[in-house]
Structure 1
Amino acid sequence: MDPEDFFETRPGGWFGGHGSLTLNVHLVEELRRGPLADRSDLEVGLALTRLLHEDFTACGTAGGQRLDDESVMLAIKAHRVVLERLGMEPPRLPFRNFSSFRDYWRRNGMSGDGGWAARRECVESLLGPARDALEQLEEAEYEAQFKKGPTGRFKNLIFAADGPKPKIVLRDAVNNDVEIVSNADNCLVFTDPLSPYGLTWGEMIAWWADLQQADPHDRRTAHALYARLAASLDSEPERLLFRTYCARYGAAEGNELPALIPQVYLHYDPYTRKSGKQSGALYRQRMDFLLLAPYTRRTPGHTSALTRQRMDFLLLTPDRSRIVIEVDGVQHYADATGKASPRLYSEMAAEDRRLRLMGYDIYRFGGHELARPDASTMLHSFFGALLSRHKRPGA
């Protein structure tokens, strides 16, 4: 709500004209009786505080305040009632209206040279604390809308491996610092500070341009990043999903869309149970993401300590959700002979449950589903609904 919302236009009279703005007395009186139906007391109180601050500052400096003596008294009364409903102590103004404000500053040495600055400071000292407290409440209320996403602090995003998988060790268990000790050239590592509202395609382009010393505004830079990410994909169903989503980048505001990040490692175990060396495993460490890519099939006698080593796709959305998208091939539910494996399915389901409890949203597509003639249309509709659901609150 803005200070201007408390005004209405008065008709221009017999001779026409554009009319004039006047305080909406009905609205202000309604506020004194109780909260508005479509506005919270918090946003109303903040807008009223700003209105009074702006108009008393204008009165004490260059003039041009929008209220008159009678209407400003009504605004002060409504302001007091709204703040009391919020459990706040209303400002104790030593004047009732603009006329008494002028008497007040004259009595207290705020005339002559330096008077404008002194009167601004006076208004700020009286109304500024209430404005600041209300803004803090508004920010806390806004932040409370973000209840999704895993706990912990973003540390590393390692993704798009296009060769032998990287070997990662945990160098500092306190700070969760990791180091890629082998095959680092095959993957990408994003360590820039993460925006509170996820990771956009435009931010990925800026990061890639800095990495490649390229122009972020040159279309060839974005195309090169797209090509590098696409090179990490393992199958035609994955490539179809990636192409369908990334086509949205070419639309208006495409750079503001969440980046679809392929082949991400959420955790990584560089050792095996067979070796007996588990000290380097990154299992369940307190870092949100490590890297991206699809499952690897286990070989007899070489069982990984982790059920899931990499994920197909990741979206970090504006509502702070972490969305994992998986394309399931036969290896997700069958053994090396192609026979259905209840064990593999159970392990996948158990890992999904664990990730959901950590705050991740998981969406799965079957490889057969993405081989149908209408797969692209289906994916387009899915991503439209997904992005609509995971918009930034208030957008």
Structure 2
Amino acid sequence: MLDVGLVESLRFGPPAGHTDLDVAVALTRLVHHDFVSHGTDGKGRHLDDENVPVVIKAHRAVLERLALQPPDWPFRTFDGPRGFGTYWRGSWQARRDCIEQILGPSRDALEELQELEYERRFTKGPSGSFKNLIFAADGAKPQLVLRDAVNNDVEIVRHADTCLVFTDPLPPHGLTWRQMIAWWTHNHQPGADEKAAASGLYRRLYRSLDSPPEQLVMRTYCAPYAEEGGFDLPALIPQVYLHYDPYTRRSGKQSRALYRQRMDFLLLAPDRARIVIEVDGVQHYGRPNPPDEKGEVRYTACRGCTRRWSPRTVG
């Protein structure tokens, strides 16, 4: 249920602990979802004819504080003689295209601001200190608990045998492939020479990937390791656990409290910079079409969904 009082307060500033950019992105997603869902089963919708104007006013105010051009809404309700239901005509795709035309420019501008924010954080370096890496699960996902909140000590309570854990000190120049090999040799392949250990580590990391695009990224990035000086390049670390959320819904799906549990790849670069590489699926650059006679869903590329790649940092 929508907290109308909270939404109205957003016209005057973001809530504590959040920024105008956070609020603008959340409101954009809310309005986009509910209008696109109009005319379907309506599951998960938060807006109705009474609170849509409140959300649109808050959305406009937040965008203006960010010096962005608010969208021009030709309707302010779902139904009625001048509502959304009478504005668009045709199929579900026509409804989606209508909302894309209205909200697309605002979403794209917000994404640009997010990219600038990521770059700003990248140049500063993340806050906090390096503790450990939990990565490359080969099988069941590990289950974690915060064993000591004072020291921020994390413990793997289930499936610790399926993942790798790196706890060595992180030097100022970052984590190189050579350092990863030394750690692997000491903990998993004692007595092996550097070349044999590198081969064993690479094969173990590769087994944690079950997506062909991710496997392609791994092969392409790691190819220079075989060249002169390649072992001193930053190590590409796959499937790194960034968050863990123990609260789940009855359906078994991950709680929405955390958007993403694992990073596809992580680079620990010099000066404490952390570079995250995500390999997006087709849903990020295409729109699903209705199922065909075989029940298969195909995607159509869409310009509005295209996002440029850039390094992203995590604190």
Q: TM-score, normalised by structure 1?
A: 0.41
Q: Secondary structure at the match of 1:312?
A: strand
Give how far 1:311 is off. 0.8
Work out the CA distance in 2 between the residues paired with 1:309 and 1:196: 27
Q: What amino acid is the match of 1:211?
A: N
Q: Of residues 266, 277, 286 in structure 2, which corresponds to 1:314?
A: 266
Work out the CA distance in 1 between the residues paired with 2:158 and 2:284: 27
% same residue: 64
Q: Is the 1:205–1:216 Cα contact (8 Å) retained in structure 2?
A: no
Matched, 1:302 2:253: yes
Question: What whole-Å deviation, never above 9, does each CA across 1:208-258 have from its counterpart, x for those lacking one?
Answer: 000124235342111000000000012111111101111111111111100
Alignment of 1:35-50 (within 5 A): none
Instruction: Classify 1:147/1:328 alpha carbon distance in 2 versus 1 (closer, same or farther; 3 Å).
Output: closer
Q: Secondary structure at the match of 1:328?
A: coil
Work out the CA distance in 2 between the residues paired with 1:266 and 1:152: 14
Instruction: Classify 1:162/1:318 alpha carbon distance in 2 versus 1 (closer, same or farther; 3 Å).
Output: same
Work out the CA distance in 2 between the residues paired with 1:175 and 1:266: 17
Work out the CA distance in 2 between the residues paired with 1:190 and 1:165: 17
Instruction: Classify 1:152/1:216 alpha carbon distance in 2 versus 1 (closer, same or farther; 3 Å).
Output: farther
Matched, 1:195 2:147: no
Work out the CA distance in 1 between the residues paired with 2:163 and 2:238: 11
Question: Could you tell me which residue of structure 1 aligns to residue 203 of structure 2?
Answer: 227
Work out the CA distance in 1 between the residues paired with 2:247 and 2:283: 22
Alignment of 1:114-263 (within 5 A): 147-215=123-191, 217-263=193-239
Instruction: Classify 1:262/1:169 alpha carbon distance in 2 versus 1 (closer, same or farther; 3 Å).
Output: same
Matched, 1:328 2:275: no
Give how far 1:269 is off. 1.1
Give structure 1 regions of 4+ aligned residues with deviation exceeding 4 angstroms: 331-340
Work out the CA distance in 2 between the residues paired with 1:255 and 1:238: 21
Give how far 1:320 is off. 2.8
Work out the CA distance in 2 between the residues paired with 1:301 and 1:186: 21
Q: What amino acid is the match of 1:302?
A: K
Q: What amino acid is the match of 2:265?
A: F
CA RMSD, aligned part only? 3.2
Q: Secondary structure at the match of 2:278?
A: strand
Instruction: Classify 1:231/1:188 alpha carbon distance in 2 versus 1 (closer, same or farther; 3 Å).
Output: same
Give how far 1:163 is off. 0.6
Work out the CA distance in 1 between the residues paired with 2:254 and 2:148: 26
Q: Secondary structure at the match of 1:262?
A: strand
Instruction: Classify 1:319/1:330 alpha carbon distance in 2 versus 1 (closer, same or farther; 3 Å).
Output: same
Question: What whole-Å deviation, never above 9, does each CA across 1:329-353 have from its counterpart, x for those lacking one?
Answer: 135577898588xxxx99xx9xx9x
Alignment of 1:361-380 (within 5 A): none
Work out the CA distance in 1 between the residues paired with 2:264 and 2:129: 22
Work out the CA distance in 1 between the residues paired with 2:200 and 2:229: 20
Work out the CA distance in 1 between the residues paired with 2:138 and 2:224: 24
Q: Secondary structure at the match of 1:202?
A: helix
Give how far 1:270 is off. 2.6
In structure 1, the gaps of 5 or more residues are 1-145, 276-299, 362-395
Work out the CA distance in 1 between the residues paired with 2:283 and 2:210: 13
Instruction: Classify 1:339/1:326 alpha carbon distance in 2 versus 1 (closer, same or farther; 3 Å).
Output: same
Work out the CA distance in 2 between the residues paired with 1:252 and 1:223: 16
Q: Is the 1:198–1:316 Cα contact (8 Å) retained in structure 2?
A: yes
Work out the CA distance in 2 between the residues paired with 1:339 and 1:218: 46
Work out the CA distance in 2 between the residues paired with 1:184 and 1:328: 27
In structure 2, the gaps of 5 or more residues are 1-121, 292-296
Question: What whole-Å deviation, never above 9, does each CA across 1:130-179 have from its counterpart, x for those lacking one?
Answer: xxxxxxxxxxxxxxxx9532100111100001111100000011110010
Work out the CA distance in 2 between the residues paired with 1:177 and 1:169: 9
Work out the CA distance in 2 between the residues paired with 1:331 and 1:155: 34
Work out the CA distance in 2 between the residues paired with 1:339 and 1:169: 40
Q: Secondary structure at the match of 1:158?
A: strand
Instruction: Classify 1:181/1:255 alpha carbon distance in 2 versus 1 (closer, same or farther; 3 Å).
Output: same
Q: Is the 2:135–2:239 Cα contact (8 Å) retained in structure 1?
A: yes
Give how far 1:185 is off. 0.7
Paired positions, count: 180
Work out the CA distance in 1 between the residues paired with 2:235 and 2:192: 16
Give how far 1:312 is off. 0.5
Question: Could you tell me which residue of structure 2 aligns to residue 269 of structure 1?
Answer: 245
Q: Secondary structure at the match of 1:234?
A: coil
Q: Secondary structure at the match of 1:205?
A: helix
